Amino acid sequence: MVHIAGETLHVHFLGTAGALPSPQRNPSSVLIRRGADTLLFDCGEGTQQQMMRARTGFTVNAIFITHWHADHFLGVFGLVETLAFMGRTDPLPIYGPPWVEEFVEIVQKINRHARGFPVTAHTLEHGSVVPFNGYTVRAFATLHGISGLGYVLEEDERPGRFNRERAIELGVPPGPLFGRLQRGETVRIVRDGVEVEVRPDDVLGMPRPGRKIVYTGDTRPLQHQPDTAALIRDADLLIHDATFDDQESNRAREVLHSTAGEAGEAAAALGARMLALLHISSRYASTANHIRDAKRHYEGDVILPADLAVLEITYRS
């Protein structure tokens, strides 16, 4: 059966800072809500307070950690305790690169009292796929000096547009059978006294792509890595490391981060429809240079979200 994607897709930028928080920016955390599902990508210190400020609630289906630098995972400890206090019973899966099992063991041991739900560890590597209902999350390798992953949230293909006139020509009466055909089901009708089948391919156009979000975490640009570029190109939203502006390009190379200009180059090379600059160093009181540097290379929409900003990802025309 073909899945019909019609769910909302919102990106909540809970934490947009670099390694050190600032008065305006919390450490890394991006919450993506697709329909009824809520996924956390990184969970820096203070993430649960940001969730309160953003009024996202605490229904978290899974946490994906990009790498084991503390600004990307310290918020897990407090969040897990809050979930326990609120009476959670469902398992909480935590996905990440190698060492996730050791990390989850620490999370389990840090509380002397039993929680009402298990926290489970799931080690991912480049190309690993985690399936959800109607979409997947796929991991890809990053370049940050330690074992690290970025993530692609990609929806299943949508059915092609429904040709109502063609369906009627084939004898399908308007009503529930239309919906079944749109959901990918073959239906049976009586035409000229004979029972015949009408297949979805008879009344649907070419399949249409679902939406795609790429979150790089901390990394050097990846468009020149063929295996990775194939996974992350053509995103509706590319959330890219832009720790520094282009004046600090030498520093970016030294510590294996990206500049805003390099993020713009990546977005252009990968065909992204929108670029969000993230992981901004606390040294910057103004981010005007970041936007300027990215736009020097990329003609699409560039945003540098403030903490608690929300972005809705719509379907392509």
Which residues are annotated as part of the binding site for Zn(2+)?
67, 69, 71-72, 144, 218, 279
Q: What is the CB neighbour count within 10 angstroms for residue 19? A: 18
Per-residue CA distances from 83 to 1, 11, 169, 211, 299 (Å): 35, 21, 55, 30, 42
With tokens 């089948």, the residue in question is 197
Q: Compute the distance between CA of residue 135 and CA of residue 178 in angstroms, rounded to an integer.
A: 24
The residue from 71, 236, 293, 307 that is catalytic is 71
Q: Compute the distance between CA of residue 62 and CA of residue 64 in angstroms, rounded to an integer.
A: 7
Look up 90 and say whether it is catalytic. Answer: no
Per-residue CA distances from 307 to 15, 25, 46, 207 (Å): 6, 6, 12, 36
Known binding residues: 67, 69, 71-72, 144, 218, 279
Supply angle C-alpha 111, 88, 64, rounded to 5. Answer: 75
Of 215, 315, 211, the closest CA to residue 266 belongs to 215
- Find the helix packing angle between 288-295 and 260-270, rounded to 10°: 30
Provide the annotated active-site residues: 71
